[in-house]
């Protein structure tokens, strides 16, 4: 996409909303340098007020992720129902969200069709969805897209709960946690999606939290770049939910930092091919 497409004609400039004017003047499309999490706040898009709960880890994860896209003007995001929907629909990106769990199948069809219709052009397809969407209702579609080697980046915003439906246990909830539909505590551990990604064909996988924004931003950027040329990629980011995990909304980052010491330690995995590719395009610097 060229920025010309979103640039209004002179005659209509004065009737556009301030949000749109800001998007054209300062937004992430066609910037001279690729965006990073440091750019957050330099334009209104994705930092606008959102309808999430106070202290929402998911909305933070989405903002950090979207600010880190290597080519937002050529990125299409596929979502799935859940809390992530509220922030993603408010971004000025092509975003599709339909039936719960179908995201990696939709992304497969879309990515393949974009290869047919726009050969040689960069068209990044990024799946950005919650833990229930990936690990429960969409697990087989996610895994099969990895087995098939689709050129898709998948980001799981893991808040360890079904937030939007009122705080039910998900497959990513920690064992023993009492939640709706787990009245006596969850009976099995978190589903090891991160480990599964490595054996299911992902060329790149990262586990991190929103308490490490630069690491997460680098992970999203690398995941999208590697998916473009090498194969499927996966980023799993902990985005804690104060509303349903019952902690103060001011303690979201603290909650994320806490688990970095235990089961959410930063880990980056990449195949030799992915590593060689990053090195070739000058992207292989240590994540800070």
Q: Which is nearer to other proteins, 52 or 207 (CB)?
A: 52
Site map 43..82 versus other proteins, x via CB under 8 A: --x-----x---------------------xxxx-x--x-
Nearest distance from C-beta of residue 287 to other proteins, angstroms: 27
Please state, in angstroms and as integers, the Cα–Cα distance from residue 195 to each residue in 15, 172, 207, following that order. 51, 13, 10
CB of 82 within 8 A of CB of 133? yes
Q: Which is nearer to other proteins, 8 or 250 (CB)?
A: 8
Question: Site size for other proteins, by CB under 8 A?
Answer: 47
Contacts (CB under 8 A) with other proteins, residues 135-194: 140-141, 144, 148, 164
Task: Specify the length of the chain in residues.
Answer: 288
**Calpha distance 285→288 (Å, rounded):** 9
Verify binding: residue 123, other proteins, rule CB under 8 A. yes
Nearest distance from C-beta of residue 18 to other proteins, angstroms: 12
Verify binding: residue 110, other proteins, rule CB under 8 A. yes
Nearest distance from C-beta of residue 246 to other proteins, angstroms: 22
**Calpha distance 171→186 (Å, rounded):** 9
Verify binding: residue 15, other proteins, rule CB under 8 A. no
CB of 63 within 8 A of CB of 38? no
Tokens of 238: 């902990």
Phi, psi for residue 241 in degrees, rounded to 5: -115, 100
Nearest distance from C-beta of residue 143 to other proteins, angstroms: 9
Show the CA angle centred on residue 123, arms to residues 117 and 124, nearest 5°: 140
**Calpha distance 109→7 (Å, rounded):** 30
Q: Which is nearer to other proteins, 89 or 248 (CB)?
A: 89
Tokens of 133: 């969407």
Nearest distance from C-beta of residue 256 to other proteins, angstroms: 26
Q: Which is nearer to other proteins, 91 or 208 (CB)?
A: 91
**Residue holding tokens 């975003």?**
95
Tokens of 153: 């980046």
Stretch that binds other proteins, among 115-123, 155-163, 183-191, 245-253 (CB under 8 A): 115-123
**Calpha distance 14→189 (Å, rounded):** 56
* CA 110, 46, 288, 193 torsion-angle sign: negative
Contacts (CB under 8 A) with other proteins, residues 214-233: none
Which residue ranges make up the site for other proteins (CB under 8 A)?
1, 5-6, 19-20, 23, 45, 51, 73-76, 78, 81, 85-86, 89-96, 98-99, 102, 105-118, 123, 140-141, 144, 148, 164
């Amino acid at each position: 996409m060229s920025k010309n497409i979103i640039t209004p004609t002179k005659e209509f400039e004065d009737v556009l909303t301030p949000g749109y004017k800001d998007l054209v003047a300062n937004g992430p499309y066609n910037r001279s340098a690729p965006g990073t999490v440091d750019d957050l706040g330099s334009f209104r898009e994705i930092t606008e007020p959102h309808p999430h709960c106070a202290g929402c880890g998911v909305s933070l994860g989405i903002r950090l992720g979207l600010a880190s896209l290597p080519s937002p003007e050529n990125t299409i995001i596929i979502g799935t129902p859940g809390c992530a929907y509220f922030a993603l629909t408010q971004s000025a990106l092509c975003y599709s969200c339909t039936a719960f769990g179908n995201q990696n199948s939709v992304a497969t069809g879309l990515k393949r069709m974009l290869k047919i219709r726009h050969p040689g052009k960069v068209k990044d397809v990024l799946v950005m969805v919650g833990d229930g969407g990936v690990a429960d209702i969409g697990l087989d579609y996610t895994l099969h897209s990895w087995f098939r080697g689709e050129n898709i980046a998948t980001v799981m915003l893991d808040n360890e709960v079904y937030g939007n439906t009122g705080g039910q246990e998900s497959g990513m909830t920690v064992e023993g946690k009492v939640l709706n539909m787990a009245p006596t505590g969850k009976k099995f551990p978190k589903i090891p999606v991160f480990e599964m990604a490595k054996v299911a064909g992902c060329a790149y996988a990262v586990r991190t939290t929103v308490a490490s924004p630069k690491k997460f931003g680098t992970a999203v950027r690398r995941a999208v770049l590697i998916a473009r040329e090498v194969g499927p990629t996966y980023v799993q980011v902990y985005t804690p939910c104060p509303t349903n995990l019952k902690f103060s909304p001011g303690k979201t980052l603290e909650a994320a930092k806490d688990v970095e010491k235990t089961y959410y330690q930063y880990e980056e995995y990449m195949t030799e091919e992915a590593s060689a590719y990053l090195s070739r395009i000058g992207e292989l610097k240590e994540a800070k």
